[in-house]
Amino acid sequence: MKAKIFFADETVRDAFTTLKASRRSDDQNLSALLDRAFDTLSENAFCGFQIPKKQIPKIYRRQNPSIQNLWKYNLTDSWRLIYTVASDGEMIVVIIEWLDHTAYERRFGY
């Protein structure tokens, strides 16, 4: 079943728009990685790694109390995409954020 891709909020959507508009090569590379990840996730929302419920950071639960699951998709060795999967009759992938490896480790307390 093909999933629809949504952003968790306007801040995430705006960050992606800014990244795509940037002329910096690092930003363009990350934008391309995200585009490929979105295509992959729309084909198979469960292709990432599911994060155990007890390891879901409290910040995500505060921002969106309805989060029932959390997934990680490895973009490269240094970038992670965090998302959740929901359904309202259709499969929905909600992009929460993307983080470099250092920020990811801090967020999850590793």
pLDDT digits (tens, 9 = 90+) for 21-78: 999 999 999 999 999 999 999 999 999 999 999 999 999 999 888 899 999 999 987 9
CB distance 76 to 33 below 8 Å: yes
- Dump pLDDT digits (tens) for 7-24: 999 999 999 999 999 999
The matching CATH number, chosen from 2.60.40.1180, 3.40.50.460, 3.40.640.10, 3.30.2310.20, for 4-108 is 3.30.2310.20
Give the Cα separation of 43 and 66 in Å (integer).
24
Give the Cα separation of 108 and 32 in Å (integer).
25
Q: The tokens 């990680």 sit on which residue?
A: 72
Strand-pairing partners, residue 102, are none
CB distance 59 to 39 below 8 Å: no
Give the Cα separation of 21 and 48 in Å (integer).
27
Domain residues of the chain, as ranges? 4-108
**So what's the pLDDT on residue 18?**
96
pLDDT band for position 105 (cuts 50, 70, 90)? very high
How many other CB atoms are found less than 10 A from the CB of residue 109? 7
| Maximum CA extent, the chain | 40
Give the Cα separation of 54 and 60 in Å (integer).
12
CB distance 98 to 34 below 8 Å: yes
